[in-house]
């Protein structure tokens, strides 16, 4: 009777101890084959032991599966007492059957201190097999690693023909495969004049594709051409900037939209109204209550919708201004603006 009780007690203790050890010790669940490999969990320390790996010609192999999106930046912080440990990452689609004929996408090796930080950028979306390898009986042993993944972003915005002093830009952020990112990422509108430092003028957290991002420009940007870009990023995402666009700033109105309630009145005339190729057109105008102010001359070629800055001049003490341009091609429209006040559009025809 006592032996049965002792057997029962021993069984209970062994079972309990096994449970404690199972929860206390790190799992070494790496697979000896790609088909049986576990998934890499980003930002979680993971453990393996090449002694438990598949044995082929004196070398032992263990595999993990890394899920990636094109453009992902993956950082491996890994270590082992065996300095001969090698880490290899294979292309998406590699299987146990194709492994022998497939070259690794990248190989990494430990430093002399048995530690290394290794970084790669995923070329496409899918699952990349990760291989840990040691050769020679004395080289096999435990290792651990931490994989940190940061997703790439592609940033764009809908470019307006003219930038109002205050308004919104429609911003989109996608991954390199073209899928929209609508959460976890913030976007900031930045502007500058010339080679000045970039200045943030508005920001928002993405909620859709596109997301309107409000901005407000300084008064000093009136009548000038601003360089505009949008920068986006967030936790788990790489920071990225859109292409830079040069956009004329027209305060609260744009060329062709009339004045904006300002006391300044701008008028413009063109001479001649019909001009031959490589001949000059002369623009003359007046601006009341604006002596010394900058005048921005906008032009838009016939058949196009976008206004472009042709040049700038200044209002004289008598309220007059002038500007000349040699016409190379195309009939066009002109408009002169002082701050948020603009003249009416004048048309100059190119004579064949």
Question: Rounded to the nearest 5°, which phi and psi values hold at 19?
Answer: -65, -40
**What is the CATH number for 133?**
2.60.120.380
Same domain, 141 and 33: yes
Residue 338 pLDDT: 86
**Within 10 A of 10 (CB to CB), how many other CB atoms are there?**
10
Residue 263 pLDDT: 60
Residue 12 domain-assigned? no
Same domain, 137 and 162: no
Residue 22 domain-assigned? no
Residue 218 pLDDT: 86
Cα separation, 265 vs 234, whole angstroms: 46
Question: Rounded to the nearest 5°, which phi and psi values hold at 31?
Answer: -95, 150
Which 3 state secondary structure label does DSSP give 124? coil
Residue 169 pLDDT: 95
Last residue of a domain, which of 189, 218, 248?
Answer: 248
Same domain, 138 and 194: no
Residue 10 domain-assigned? no
Its domain, for residue 175, covers 154-248
* Total tally of structural domains belonging to the chain: 3
Which residues on adjacent β-strands are paired with residue 38?
none
Q: Model confidence over 49-69: pLDDT tens digits?
A: 999 999 888 899 999 999 999
Residue 131 domain-assigned? yes
Which 3 state secondary structure label does DSSP give 4? helix
Residue 16 pLDDT: 43
What is the mean pLDDT, run by run of 10 residues, along the chain of 352 residues? 44 41 45 92 96 90 96 97 94 96 96 96 96 90 96 94 89 93 96 91 95 91 88 95 90 44 78 93 89 88 88 90 93 88 91 80
* DSSP type of residue 176: T
- For residue 74, give both structure tokens: 């993956």
**What is the CATH number for 194?**
2.60.40.10
Q: Model confidence over 4-15: pLDDT tens digits?
A: 444 444 443 434
Cα separation, 297 vs 315, whole angstroms: 12
| Predicted TM-score of the model (pTM) | 0.61
Residue 259 domain-assigned? no
């Amino acid at each position: 009777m006592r032996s049965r009780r002792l057997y029962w007690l021993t069984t209970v203790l062994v079972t309990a101890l096994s449970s404690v050890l199972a929860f206390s010790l790190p799992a070494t669940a790496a697979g000896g084959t790609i088909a049986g490999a576990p998934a890499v969990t980003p930002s979680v320390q993971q453990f393996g032991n090449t002694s438990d790996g598949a044995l082929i010609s004196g070398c032992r192999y263990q595999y993990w599966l890394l899920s990636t999106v094109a453009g992902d930046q993956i950082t491996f912080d890994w270590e082992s007492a065996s300095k001969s440990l090698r880490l290899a990452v294979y292309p998406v689609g590699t299987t146990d059957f194709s492994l022998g004929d497939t070259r690794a996408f990248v190989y990494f090796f430990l430093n002399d201190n048995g530690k290394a930080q290794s970084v790669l950028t995923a070329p496409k979306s899918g699952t990349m097999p990760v291989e840990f390898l040691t050769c020679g009986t004395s080289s096999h042993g435990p290792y651990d690693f931490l994989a940190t993944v940061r997703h790439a972003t592609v940033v764009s915005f809908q470019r307006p023909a003219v930038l109002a002093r205050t308004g919104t830009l429609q911003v989109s952020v996608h991954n390199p495969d073209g899928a929209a990112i609508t959460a976890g990422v913030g976007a900031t509108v930045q502007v500058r004049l010339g080679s000045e430092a970039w200045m943030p003028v508005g920001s928002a957290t993405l909620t859709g594709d596109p997301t309107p991002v409000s901005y407000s420009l300084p008064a000093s940007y009136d009548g000038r051409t601003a360089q505009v870009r949008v920068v986006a990023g967030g936790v788990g995402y790489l920071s990225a900037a859109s292409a830079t666009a040069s956009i004329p700033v027209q305060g609260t109105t744009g060329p062709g939209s009339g004045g904006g309630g300002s006391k300044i009145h701008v008028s413009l005339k063109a001479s001649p109204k019909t001009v031959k190729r490589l001949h000059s057109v002369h623009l003359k105008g007046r601006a009341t209550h604006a002596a010394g102010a900058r005048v921005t001359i906008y032009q838009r070629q016939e058949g196009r919708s976008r206004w472009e800055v042709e040049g700038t001049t200044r209002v004289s003490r008598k309220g007059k201004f002038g500007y000349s341009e040699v016409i190379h091609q195309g009939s066009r429209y002109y408009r002169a603006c002082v701050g948020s006040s603009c003249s009416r559009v004048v048309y100059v025809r190119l004579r064949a």
